[in-house]
Amino acid sequence: WACKTAHDLPAGELHSYEDRSVFTEKRRPGTKALTVVNEYSSGKNSNLPLDVKVQCMHCDHPACVSACIVGAFSKEENGSVIWDTDKCIGCRYCMAACPFQVPAFEYDKAINPSIMKCDFCFNRTKEGKLPACVAICPVEALTYGTRTELVKIARERIKRNPDKYVDHIFGEYEVGGTAWMYLSSKDFSELDFPKLGTNPAPGVSESIQHGIFAYFVPPVSLYALLGGIMWISKHRKELDEEGKL
């Protein structure tokens, strides 16, 4: 609810989120929900399930940024990986490159579709506010701070509670490190976390670009084509806003 409200998405009433029937199926972030929560058995007490929040991981070395051939994605100083609608041409290479399969495309919009994903509440955090999900969490399951601080906090919690947590901070090293990190009492493979190496993901996305340039269109021709597409897209957007389309 907090995430949808902060991003002007249809959110409904807060009390409607007390309906736990949504947990009968595993969900993924999409165009209508930038973050979702899935429920798993704790393996210890069926009355105390494990709830896992899923969203963009905001990689330290984001593959989406590397894959985007027009620079629509950027990694900001506060850790956010954000997307610029005015630059995007809808190629969706970011979707193919993401190791977590997060970016979602608005296929239902014929004009000016967007790539939708968690932006780490960039507009809030640059003003010194907490991300909406962190601010509203009633049990403080989410903690916001610098990556160095969070790794230190996570290691201290594991050390103090070895029977409560597995000795693994997911996101500390995966794909070169992520801004979102997790602690768990259960092996992450049992919670549908992908098994990833420690090498940064841009190595994969760069191969996508190399393949395009090698087998599709020469770089100079491609950028001329993309420039034309960007102009047409922006022109259509301006006409649409003026009510001419």
pLDDT at position 83: 94
Q: Report DSSP state, residue 174.
A: G
Residue 201 CB-density burial (10 A; 0-12 exposed, 13-18 middle, 19+ buried) = buried
- Are 63 and 97 contacting, i.e. CB atoms less than 8 angstroms apart? yes
- Are 180 and 57 contacting, i.e. CB atoms less than 8 angstroms apart? yes
Q: Which helix (H) or strand (E) holds 180?
A: none
Q: Select the more confidently predicted residue: 210 or 85.
A: 85
110 confidence band (pLDDT: 50, 70, 90): confident
Residue labelled with tokens 């620079």:
71
pLDDT at position 241: 55
**Residue range 59-83, pLDDT digits in tens:** 999 999 999 999 999 999 989 999 9
Arithmetic mean of pLDDT, 19-32:
94
Fold annotation for 63-117+201-241: Alpha-Beta Plaits (3.30.70)
Selection from 31-40, 198-207, 208-217 with the highest mean pLDDT: 31-40
- Are 25 and 17 contacting, i.e. CB atoms less than 8 angstroms apart? no
Please check the confidence at residue 228 and state whether its pLDDT lies above 80: no
pLDDT at position 202: 65
Domain spans of the chain, in order of start: 63-117+201-241
**Residue range 159-196, pLDDT digits in tens:** 999 999 999 999 999 999 999 999 999 999 999 999 99
Phi-psi region of 73 (alpha: psi -120 to 50; beta: other; left: phi over 0): beta
pLDDT at position 245: 46
229 confidence band (pLDDT: 50, 70, 90): very low
Q: What is the pTM of this model?
A: 0.81
pLDDT at position 48: 81
The chain-wide mean pLDDT, for the chain, equals: 86
Arithmetic mean of pLDDT, 25-33:
96
